[in-house]
Amino acid sequence: MRSAATKILVLITFHLLLGYLNIETLAGKNKNSIINLFCIQNFKEEMLKANISYEEIIAKETCDCYLKEFVKTNSHQKAINTCKLETKKKFNL
């Protein structure tokens, strides 16, 4: 019984580790990743809500920043906050 439980625990740990590595790969290397697509869509919605005209170049730079920060800090909220500030300063928003 212990052997089966140990095998299951190892498989679960391995699966979680692969999932984490997959997120880093998607976020860091693939600019057309699902994370990037969601980022651009959310950026566009926020710009429209704030009555600011949407510009694709600003969205791309902001989402590139988000992906880099997310991989570096492993924190969704820290990445958002950092990149919002950088975008505001860079593009005078």
Give per-residue pLDDT as tens, 6-25.
Answer: 666 555 655 454 455 455 55
pLDDT at 82: 95
- 84/64 Cα distance (integer angstroms): 12
pLDDT at 21: 46
Find out whether 28 and 55 touch, Cβ atoms under 8 Å: no
Residue 41 belongs to domain spanning = 2-91
Q: Quick one: 39 exposed, middle or buried, by C-beta within 10 A (0-12, 13-18, 19+)?
A: buried
pLDDT at 81: 93
Domain count, the chain: 1
Low-confidence ranges of the chain (pLDDT < 50): 15, 17-18, 21, 26-28
